[in-house]
Amino acid sequence: MKTFRKFYTDNKEQLFGYLLRKSGSYHLAADIMQESFTRYLEQYSDREQSPALLFTISRNLLYDHVRKNRFDTVYEDNRHSLEIDQENAYSVKEEYKRVLKAMQQLNDDEQDILSLVVSSSLTYREIADITGNSEANIKIKIHRSRLKLKKILRQNMP
């Protein structure tokens, strides 16, 4: 069995990416990521380590936060800075914001599934288990969500 430190290291970036895509908030994503690992360690340290369970915990924490706060997503300007020239960094940042904004136009289910696919190394089976869908249904939803996202991005071209 892997140590918890290795489990954390192996999953933190993917989990953070998922939470950032879902919430649009760097600070909220960081807070929920930390809380997810804490709950995982406290409640499931005796089990075999499972990224799918970790993502389920974080997904539930995020939904709990949304239910409690009913917030409108604010796109932050202080995301991780890229070590490239200023002009390219600006372009990347603007495109990232554009994609996040387009994802916010998808329904919650579409956002969730796309975020899980993009942010994690979870299999379609694991995503199906997390979301309570069949694996075949997940494949269809991913395909349709990607098409819908592409359409939104094309419509919102600068």
Structural domains in the chain, CATH included, are 4-155 (1.20.140)
Q: How far is CA 26 from CA 31, 91, 109, 155, in A?
A: 9, 19, 21, 27
Site of tokens 């696919």: 117
Place 84 in a pLDDT band, splitting at 50, 70 and 90: very low
Q: What SS3 state is found at 76? A: coil
150: tokens are 């592409």
Q: Nearest to residue 119, comparing CAs of 7, 5, 12? A: 12
Q: Tens digits of per-residue pLDDT, 93-151?
A: 777 778 888 888 898 889 888 888 887 778 899 899 888 999 999 999 999 999 998 99
Q: Are 113 and 129 in contact (CB under 8 A)?
A: no
Model confidence, pTM? 0.60
